[in-house]
Structure 1
Amino acid sequence: MDTVNPETSPAPKYLSPGLAARTSASTVILDGVTVAFWTYQPLEETPDTRTILVVHGFRGDHHGLLRVADQLPDMRIIMPDLPGFGSSDAFVQDAHSVERYGQFITDFMASQGLGPDTVLLGHSFGSIVASHFAANNPDAVKPLILVNPIAAPALEGPKGVMTRLAVLYYRLAARLPRKPGLALLRNPLIVRVMSETMAKTRDMELRAFIHGQHHAYFSSFADRDSLLESFTASVSNHVAEVAERLELPVLLIAGEKDEIATLPNQHRLLALLPDGQLKVIPGVGHLIHYETPEPAARYIRSFLKDHPA
């Protein structure tokens, strides 16, 4: 394992000075793929300190969950950039599927000596990866936390038309010559429209921070083919299809105004879980990790106290 210098905070107003002191950045090679990951050590180890492995969402990287990690200074947080995103390489030969990302979690946990007392947290697309992993590896982690979970098929319901348009967008970008294809995927106007649509806060400074984060990191992907594969995986799978197999305690943290993972679908998902809890944060949509990290962290800490190692 190679250690690299910890990154500095790009937005100190929204991240505490103490976060940098907790941060170490490393890389590990798994099956020929260089994976970058960040560890946030607890400021003080307590009997309630847990190790939380975080799986970020589609087109994101570890930066997206920094505000949540910052609100959990008593926890050890480990956040890899998924292969194909951020500073991690794409898979060498395998498709970027939910199953392959599940194998990545297995390999990564083994490389870091993470045992079954590890807490697994997934956001958005990461909720799909994390839930499928937990269903297929019932003794690997405990418990499971899903933030803005993708609770229902993306290609069905009122948002199905928009999802199909997005599928065409990613397919077109993959088929165009490299330069125009990348320009389409990284088009600042498209990124801004996406960011404006998802942000629900009326705080103009916070909205500017969110837009800046999306412009800085939303286009940090390895290549167009792996991006298309990951997007296909994100719209072809969902948490509900494995919910009944999740025998471990599961916490769902949902946004009241989430238009991607709607609240009615969260309640349907909850009904399928053998041991589930649903916490709804009012006034926020699909960006809980940016807009409301404080209540999210509070729910996480309370849930972990109820389900100790």
Structure 2
Amino acid sequence: MVPPRTGPLGEGLHTLEVAGLALRYHVHGTGPVCVAHPGGPGIAWEYLRAEELEKRLTMVYLEPAGTGDSDRLPTHPHGYTRALYSHHLAALIDHLPVGRPHLLGHSHGGFVAQYHAVHHPDQLAGVVLYESAPGNGPEFGEEMIRRVGEFAARQATRPEVQAVMDAFASIPAIADDAAMMAAAKGVLPAYVADYWADAPRWSRLQDALRATYISGLDRNGAPDPFDDREALGALKVPVLVVAGRHDEVCGVRWSQELHELLPTSRLLLLEHSGHFGHLEEPKEFAREIASFVGTGSEQG
């Protein structure tokens, strides 16, 4: 029988102080270590918990600064750049008693994970870019608008769809936590391959979501755009790119482009998933992620 872990990788909630901020992280599961960074920015970590994956890996779920129960910056809601999130990831990884863990980033967390892989490759045995994209310029927004419009057209006979579209329309005006929470819950039906096939299940996820308003601007209130195409082409860290076939936000277009850019990548398309493959196809997701992590694990 394997004795329970203690210390920084003990099961449950932990707190790590970085530059005066208390950052919370949660450890669940057994096996090689994989650090997970949630999306949003501003969506609390619970939605990303992958219990099927925890049967194969030790998952370390970070609550990023400004999100969930971690501390906020003095400049909140501004200042949460990828460089800041990466700095906090570096501190967490250094804190963990492992050699080089894997890093999984979901959605906006994927943007952070690829930044971290480019700037701190020596910390990582590999990275999972889960519903990520190579950049967040105008083309990213245009593609999302197009895909969400297609979603609305497919579901046009459902009266509930108007509320989903209203939630998307509210996003540019979000300025506080309550509005962020309402929008996150309101758009969720578009994030699932077939929300109405099991609406009670997905409504429970909606009810459980916690969200914080993060502006996406730097400390001075300026935008923080990125285009990682050139940098990713030189990345040597092994990468698994994961996308749901029916994701309307960070869709297959971006995952295929990431795969083509990255010299050491594999591409996993989850054919029956939207944005939440770890919940929509949990067994396949867990099998493929664990296989990738196990193959490249260099942990001590």
Sort the TM-score into its range (normalised by shorter chain): 0.7 to 0.9
* Residue type at the aligned position of 1:208: P
CA contact (8 A) 2:110 2:133 kept: yes
Report the equivalent of 1:103: 87
Could you give the per-residue CA deviations for residues 228-276 of structure 1, whole angstroms, max 9, x where no partner exists? 1369999833654531132111001111111212213322221111101
* Residue type at the aligned position of 1:195: L
For residue 278 of structure 1, report the CA deviation from its aligned partner.
0.2
Q: Distance in 1 between matches of 2:82 and 2:11?
A: 28
Report the equivalent of 1:30: 18
Say which of 197, 203, 219 aligns to 1:211.
203
Could you give the per-residue CA deviations for residues 110-131 of structure 1, whole angstroms, max 9, x where no partner exists? 233443x211111111111011
CA contact (8 A) 2:29 2:59 kept: yes
Is 1:123 matched up with 2:92?
A: no
Say which of 246, 249, 267 aligns to 2:238.
249
**Residue ranges of structure 2 left out of the alignment (5+ in a row):** 1-9, 149-165
Corresponding pairs, count: 265
Report the equivalent of 1:53: 35
For residue 283 of structure 1, report the CA deviation from its aligned partner.
2.1
State the TM-score, normalized to the length of structure 2.
0.77
Report the equivalent of 2:128: 145
**Residue ranges of structure 1 left out of the alignment (5+ in a row):** 1-21, 43-48, 175-180
Q: Distance in 1 between matches of 2:143 and 2:222?
A: 17
CA contact (8 A) 2:144 2:249 kept: no
Q: Distance in 2 between matches of 1:289 and 1:238?
A: 27
Q: Distance in 2 between matches of 1:146 and 1:218?
A: 23
Shift of the 268–229 alpha-carbon distance from structure 1 to 2, 3 Å rule, reads closer
CA contact (8 A) 2:232 2:262 kept: yes
Report the equivalent of 2:254: 265
Shift of the 294–196 alpha-carbon distance from structure 1 to 2, 3 Å rule, reads same
Shift of the 252–235 alpha-carbon distance from structure 1 to 2, 3 Å rule, reads farther
Matches within 5 A, 1:167-182: 169=170, 172-174=173-175, 181-182=176-177
Shift of the 266–32 alpha-carbon distance from structure 1 to 2, 3 Å rule, reads same
Q: Distance in 2 between matches of 1:173 and 1:211?
A: 22
For residue 62 of structure 1, report the CA deviation from its aligned partner.
2.1
Shift of the 113–286 alpha-carbon distance from structure 1 to 2, 3 Å rule, reads same
Report the equivalent of 1:196: 189
For residue 282 of structure 1, report the CA deviation from its aligned partner.
0.4
CA contact (8 A) 1:142 1:249 kept: yes
* Residue type at the aligned position of 2:216: E
Q: Distance in 2 between matches of 1:127 and 1:183?
A: 25
Report the equivalent of 1:5: none
Q: Aligned Cα RMSD in Å?
A: 3.1
The DSSP-based 3-state class of the residue aligned with 2:54 is coil
Shift of the 166–213 alpha-carbon distance from structure 1 to 2, 3 Å rule, reads closer
CA contact (8 A) 1:128 1:234 kept: no
For residue 34 of structure 1, report the CA deviation from its aligned partner.
1.4
Report the equivalent of 1:184: 179
Q: Distance in 2 between matches of 1:238 and 1:55?
A: 20
Q: Distance in 2 between matches of 1:121 and 1:233?
A: 27
Q: Distance in 1 between matches of 2:239 and 2:103?
A: 10
Percent sequence identity is 20
Report the equivalent of 2:287: 298
Shift of the 263–275 alpha-carbon distance from structure 1 to 2, 3 Å rule, reads same
Q: Distance in 2 between matches of 1:304 and 1:108?
A: 19
For residue 97 of structure 1, report the CA deviation from its aligned partner.
0.3
Is 1:92 matched up with 2:74?
A: yes
Say which of 83, 96, 102 aligns to 2:65.
83
Matches within 5 A, 1:220-259: 221=212, 224=213, 227-229=214-216, 236-237=225-226, 240=229, 242-259=231-248
Q: Distance in 2 between matches of 1:233 and 1:262?
A: 27
For residue 202 of structure 1, report the CA deviation from its aligned partner.
5.4
Report the equivalent of 2:4: none
